């Protein structure tokens, strides 16, 4: 099986074994990230950035690694990614997630709002913006975000006459739901979550959480 096939099959350790002695590659970095070997992944992104310093996505991914390694300056890589590609909505969403997790919820709302200006039909960003607004006490706004997110995904909204759960839970990289599940998997990064789930998969995911 070719290396890409191994990666697609979730055999990340085998991918690492095949590629770790070769030239640095995106596939190797992602395999390390999937295996939660954040420092190894960061080192690969460092090499890739040295070779291609204008690749915004490389900085974004390195920021993901730094965040998981609890580096205080991880936000700088997300800033750089946006500087290089200021119209990329995904980068704003990633930075919004990091800001929220580091205590800057107002900054998070600003970045999610910008992401939605660039991509108004991103249901996950709508959902996360609602969660950030809910944290700040903007309950009515949050409900509207949740409804719009559900509408985009074709999911029946929660009864808006009921209070929205105030506890914030993460399922995937910055992807949360406004209905608290009974069991919460360990948070991972939103980038990985979006790569794993199609829109149909995400719809099923939210339905399960709301049971």
Return d(Cα 189, Cα 40) in angstroms, integer: 16
3-state secondary structure of 176: strand
- Torsion over CA: 21, 71, 102, 75 (sign): negative
pLDDT confidence of residue 189: 45
- Structure-block tokens of residue 43: 């080192």
Taking only the tens of pLDDT, the chain with its 211 residues reads 699 999 999 999 999 999 999 999 999 999 999 999 999 999 999 999 999 999 999 999 999 999 999 998 999 999 999 999 999 999 999 999 999 999 999 999 999 999 999 999 999 999 999 999 999 999 999 999 999 888 888 875 444 333 333 232 233 344 444 433 333 333 334 444 444 344 444 444 444 433 4
pLDDT confidence of residue 54: 98
Return d(Cα 10, Cα 169) in angstroms, integer: 26
pTM of the model: 0.74
Return d(Cα 39, Cα 5) in angstroms, integer: 24
Return d(Cα 51, Cα 85) in angstroms, integer: 18
Of 49, 116, 124, the C-alpha closest to 80 is 49
Return d(Cα 172, Cα 4) in angstroms, integer: 23
Of 142, 96, 103, the C-alpha closest to 119 is 96
């Amino acid at each position: 099986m070719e290396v890409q096939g191994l990666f697609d099959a979730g055999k990340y350790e085998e991918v690492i074994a095949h590629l770790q002695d070769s030239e640095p590659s995106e596939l190797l970095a992602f395999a390390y990230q999937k295996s939660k070997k954040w420092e190894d992944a960061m080192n690969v992104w460092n090499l890739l950035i040295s070779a291609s310093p204008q690749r915004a996505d490389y900085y974004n991914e390195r920021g993901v690694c730094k965040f998981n390694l609890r580096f205080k300056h991880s936000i700088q890589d997300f800033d750089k990614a946006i500087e290089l590609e200021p119209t990329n909505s995904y980068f704003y969403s990633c930075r919004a997630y990091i800001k929220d997790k580091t205590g800057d919820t107002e900054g998070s709302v600003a970045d999610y709002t910008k992401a939605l200006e660039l991509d108004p039909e991103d249901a996950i960003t709508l959902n996360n913006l609602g969660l950030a607004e809910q944290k700040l006490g903007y309950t009515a706004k949050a409900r509207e975000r949740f409804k719009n997110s559900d509408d985009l995904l074709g999911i029946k909204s929660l009864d808006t006459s009921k209070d929205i759960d105030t506890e914030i839970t993460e399922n995937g990289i910055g992807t949360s739901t406004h209905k608290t599940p009974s069991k919460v998997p360990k948070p991972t990064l939103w980038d990985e979550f979006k790569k794993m789930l199609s829109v149909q998969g995400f719809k099923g995911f939210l339905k399960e959480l709301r049971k």
